[in-house]
Amino acid sequence: MSDSRVDNPTLWCDICHVHVPLDEAEEDRTCPGCGEPLAERRKYPWHFKLMGIGTVLYLGYRAYQGISWLVHHL
């Protein structure tokens, strides 16, 4: 597997909350969607991963709660 993405950083739009690959951004590094300046950001910051894990755990816990509620009320 090639790892060419390492050399292809993405930019972040705070307005649209999207990652824009450098080669898809406008020449002046503005967002193709809204025209606001883009910020340089790593593709998956650690807190993004942490938030994803937290969301999965939370949803799993809620699903468990929902299932056990059903079991006790049927």
Which residues between 15 and 54 bind Zn ion (CB under 5 A)? Answer: 15-16, 31, 33-34
Nearer to Zn ion, 17 or 72 (CB): 17
Closest distance to Zn ion from the beta carbon of 23 (Å): 16
Q: Which residue number, 36 or 48, has a Cβ lying nearer to Zn ion?
A: 36
33-39 — which CB contacts under 8 Å span 24+ positions?
38/11, 38/12, 38/13, 39/11, 39/12, 39/13, 39/14
Q: Any idea how long the chain is?
A: 74
Applying CB under 5 A, the residues found at the interface with Zn ion are 13, 15-16, 31, 33-34
